[in-house]
Amino acid sequence: MNALIAALMLATAPAVPAKASEPTLVRGDKLKGLPKVELAALLKDPAASEGKEVALEGTVRKACEKKGCWMELAPGDAKAKGPGVRVTFKDYGFFVPLDSAGSKVKIEGVVSVKELSDERVKHYEGEGATVARGKDGKAREVQLVASGLELRK
């Protein structure tokens, strides 16, 4: 009888929330503690980090609505306007939830600056992304190919 009462008490006990320091979702490789680059600094001068492995922290502004195969990071909150960093995942090896927008993320990967083809722009915009064009009309963006991440809602 005591075991039944104990089981009922456990079943009705309030859930203990996860600690703020615990990731809610881990994808890819375990984070290695790479040198951290501030997202705003990366967006201001992406050439300084191009080709380097870095760690970033930011807010997911948008995620691919079809598979979760990319996301955009923005400094500030998910509604931030202006340039962001498009994140894809190493070897197409992992994805993020389709509802990741608004989540906080710690992420590591390699930075690049890419000029996007009109076809790629159309593809991203078809999935809900916003792509900015420079004065020359060409679409360029800062990208990070992520090797691993920790995502928190």
Per-residue HEC secondary structure of 2-47 comes to HHHHHHHHHHHCCCCCCCCCCCCEEEECCCCCCCECCHHHHHHCHH
Q: Bigger pLDDT: 96 or 77?
A: 96
Q: What does pTM read for this prediction?
A: 0.77
Q: Bigger pLDDT: 82 or 72?
A: 72
Q: What is the pLDDT of residues 57-70, one digit of tens each?
A: 999 999 988 899 99
Residue 4: what pLDDT? 42
Domains (ranges, CATH) in the chain?
Answer: 22-152 (2.40.50.140)
Mean pLDDT of the chain: 83
